[in-house]
A and B are shown apart, each in its own frame.
Chain A
Amino acid sequence: MLSIQQLRYRNILNSVDFSAKSGEFIGIVGPNGSGKTTLLRLVAGILRDFSGKIGLDGQNLAELSSRQVARLVSYVPQIVETVIPFTVIELLRLSRFPYRGMAPKRGPVPDFEAILCQMGISHLKTRQVATLSGGELQRVLVAAALAQDTPIVLLDEPTSHLDPFRAEAFVATLASLKKEGRHLFLMVSHNTAEMARLCDRIVALKGGKKIGEFDPASLLEPEFRFLIYSNGDGDQP
């Protein structure tokens, strides 16, 4: 489903290789500045001047158009201070751009209601996105990614703005999505406990290089945490 070979991007990523198949939940960990978000943006087709190869569903990303990539990969960005002046349902409709292009009514229409129900936000359907709380917004952004109907879903620190209670509920929702087995999830997070709970495998990056793949449970062990997060110049984890 996803295969990454010899991936390099400017001086940020330097030789990253790994592959994953449908139904897997892959965690990407590493210290700040290790290239995690850049990796997601490359797989999402946002940054395109990379070297190496990103294979999506057997096709080479470099040879696909933006819309073709967007039919294979959806991306849930970190929550930023962007004001989104649309209602929830309007935002979900925008996720159909990969299929419709500039034509408003072309292509299949997914069951938006079912997606909202799955994310537990049916009641927010006609609300303005700008009026939502952080927890609601995060669920809406995931719903928008699901509306894009892609086999690969990328999540960038989805719980970092949530309080512990809402983060837990959100992780439970992700776990139920994982159980369906229809998507390959790639998630960047600094929360080792939720990574250990959700992920099948952990890919660790440091300084733009992949330093290894680990069992998620090892994230809870202090030696592994030091190995992953230290800069190697004597600093303390």
Chain B
Amino acid sequence: MKFRYFVGISVLTALTLLLPFFFPIPLIGHLSEAVNRHILWDIRLPVVLTALFAGGVLAGGGLSFQALFRNPLATPYTLGISSGAAFGAVVFIVFVHPGGSGAAVPVFAFAGALCSALLVMSFAFRRRMVQAETILLAGVAVNFLFASVIMFSQYVAAQYEVFQITRWLLGGIGNAGTLSVVLTGAAFAGLLAALLWLSPGLDLSILGDDMAASRGLDVRRFKLILITLVSAAVAATIAFTGPIGFVGIVVPHMVRLKLGTAVHRRLVPMTMAAGGLMLAVCDTIGRTVLFPVTIPTGVITALIGAPFFLWLLSRRSTLQR
């Protein structure tokens, strides 16, 4: 049974990697072969690879946070990491390099994301006992803090800058290249290995702090390690993609419903593969359906994902944690 899913995921991934060879190349078939090859290898393939890795990281981050906080609504952005990244991007767009190109936005977004994660953790981990609620509420507070700074920046920014900010906040994989492939790929591989290794701890976390601790899990240290790892991986991803929503919260639930298990050693690989596939497919759809207009990926993920998820939910009566 596991083997069947593995084969299915492999085939789908291979198909997704082949997508750029079919879409939207045929639509611009009048270009020379050299130009086509350049579009395919240097533009399309990095985008698809970045989408695969980024989707995997977001879904893996959502899966582990939902277990750690024992909250089905947790996402990789729960601790304010997306508004931290947005804050970084906005600082660059409005204050550091006003009116200029956005080439260095990922660097600032990454720094902002790490800032917000550090801020949340430095407040939440002061005490010996770290309750999930404390971390969640610290995340909410940090989210609001950065959001208000972003709103202020938009208020004082020039029209063109506001447009840039809005586009960034929509989320997308437009400016993918070798760097984004390497970094999101490293984040994906690192997070996959870490979550597989830590999966017994994730299983125990679901039982609650007392039962986890009485079975020998050092709850505080585990939370610290997991949040650090997920935050680093998500920060590296969001720096290139912007805050793409929906993948991180819903893909884990879809995989749980589909596999019918809560054992993380089985959930982790499927969730990260499915998250990558969903983002890559959504991105391709966004680039092709209204060609030559590109719909931002962040719009497509929810537009397609939400109805699909509602349909899944209506078939199963309970949402498992």
Query: Which residues does A use to contact B, with CB under 8 Å?
Result: 41, 44-46, 48-49, 65-71, 73-75, 77, 80, 82-86, 90, 94-95, 97-98, 100-102, 104, 148
Using known A-B contacts A45-B213, A82-B208, A83-B321, determine if residue A65 contacts B218 with beta carbons closer than 8 Å: yes
Using known A-B contacts A90-B263, A94-B200, A104-B200, determine if residue A84 contacts B216 with beta carbons closer than 8 Å: no
- Write the nearest CB–CB distance from A68 to chain B, whole angstroms: 8
CB–CB A104/B214 < 8 A: no
The listed residue (A71, A86, A100) touching B263 by CB distance below 8 A is A86
Question: In this assembly, does B287 line the interface, its C-beta being within 8 Å of a C-beta of chain A?
Answer: no
The listed residue (B199, B204, B210) touching A75 by CB distance below 8 A is B210
CB–CB B210/A102 < 8 A: no
Query: Which residues does B use to contact A, with CB under 8 Å?
Result: 128, 197-201, 203-204, 206-211, 213-218, 262-263, 265, 320-321
Give every chain A residue within 8 A of B198 (Cβ-Cβ): 102
CA distance A74 to B215 in the complex (A): 7
Using known A-B contacts A77-B210, A82-B208, A83-B321, determine if residue A98 contacts B215 with beta carbons closer than 8 Å: yes
CB–CB B203/A86 < 8 A: yes
- Write the nearest CB–CB distance from B68 to chain A, whole angstroms: 14
Could you give 21 example pairs across A and B, Cβ below 8 Å?
A41-B210, A44-B213, A45-B213, A46-B210, A66-B218, A73-B214, A75-B210, A75-B211, A75-B214, A77-B210, A77-B211, A82-B207, A82-B211, A90-B203, A94-B200, A97-B200, A97-B215, A98-B215, A98-B216, A102-B201, A104-B265
Given contacts A44-B213, A85-B262, A86-B262, 4 further A-B contacts (CB under 8 A): A48-B128, A74-B214, A90-B203, A102-B198
CA distance A189 to B180 in the complex (A): 59
- Write the nearest CB–CB distance from B37 to chain A, whole angstroms: 46
Using known A-B contacts A94-B204, A97-B200, determine if residue A85 contacts B320 with beta carbons closer than 8 Å: yes
CB–CB B208/A66 < 8 A: no
Give every chain A residue within 8 A of B210 (Cβ-Cβ): 41, 46, 75, 77
Give every chain B residue within 8 A of A65 (Cβ-Cβ): 216, 218
Give every chain A residue within 8 A of B128 (Cβ-Cβ): 48-49
- Write the nearest CB–CB distance from A207 to chain B, whole angstroms: 23
CA distance A86 to B321 in the complex (A): 10
- Write the nearest CB–CB distance from B257 to chain A, whole angstroms: 12
CA distance A125 to B210 in the complex (A): 24
Of all chain A residues, the one with the shortest Cβ separation from B203 is A94
Give every chain B residue within 8 A of A48 (Cβ-Cβ): 128
CB–CB A97/B217 < 8 A: yes
CA distance A73 to B216 in the complex (A): 10
